[in-house]
Amino acid sequence: MAKIRFTKNELKRQKDNLKRFTRYLPTLELKKMQLLQEIRRIQGEIDRLQVELKRVEGEVNRWVDVFAEDVNFRNYIKLTDLRSGHGNIAGIDIPIFENLIFEEIELDYFNTPFWIDKGIEVCKEQIKRRIESAFFEKQIEIIREELRITIQRIKLFEEVKIPEARENIRMIQIFLGDQQTAEVVRGKIAKAKIEKKKLVGGLI
């Protein structure tokens, strides 16, 4: 605990600190709730994308088994741009996935399976889902770090700053109260001495 001065100015400063800490604490609690809600929401999005990825992969595998034709989709899918932006959640910046841009590649329908265009479309959607999921994972990572810091601050206010300010106020008030009592006692003693002198002087 830092050293404090037992003065009226220090008492006012400690009261102001206590007021500020108690006012700021609900804001931190609200932020904590918002961050937890966002983590749950984003985790829901990740789970949804994972389910969709597995579902489509299952469909594609059945498809490939039926046609039994070996196609290297890398020759037909070239990513040219990944578009992203920034969002704000409870005062923190997070990356936002926007879109993927693929190069348009002409197909030779005479030398490729008739279903290849559909296959390319599915592969592009799967790539998009994976990248979108990676963005959500990054968002959760950032939000969890902010949540950790927020919880630390809440504990600091609840367990250290607020009790410390209250104890400082109590100690200063006791000290100032004792000083005031001592001044009253000294005043009474001085008054009694003056009265005694007057009484003795009147008798002489």
Beta strands in 22-128 (DSSP E): 79-89, 92-102
What's the rounded Cα separation, in Å, for the pair 37 and 137? Answer: 15
Alpha carbon 201 to chain centroid, angstroms: 78
CA angle 6, 170, 18 (to 5 degrees): 95
Q: Right CATH number for 8-196 from 2.60.40.10, 3.30.1550.10, 1.10.287.3240, 3.90.850.10? A: 1.10.287.3240
What's the rounded Cα separation, in Å, for the pair 124 and 79? Answer: 9
In this prediction the pTM is 0.78
Among residues of the chain, what percentage have pLDDT more than 70? Answer: 90
Spell out the domain ranges in the chain.
Answer: 8-196
> For position 74, what pLDDT does the model report?
77
Amino acid at 65: D
What the block records as the tokens of 34 is: 């918002």
pLDDT digits (tens, 9 = 90+) for 154-204: 999 999 999 999 999 999 999 998 888 878 778 777 777 777 677 666 555
> For position 129, what pLDDT does the model report?
94
Could you say which residues of the chain have pLDDT below 50? Answer: none
pLDDT digits (tens, 9 = 90+) for 167-177: 999 999 999 98
Greatest C-alpha distance within the chain: 139
What the block records as the tokens of 114 is: 């008739």
Q: Of 25, 60, 37, which Cα lies nearest the Cα of 155? A: 25
What the block records as the tokens of 23 is: 């006012």
> For position 43, what pLDDT does the model report?
96
Q: CB of 116 within 8 A of CB of 76? A: yes
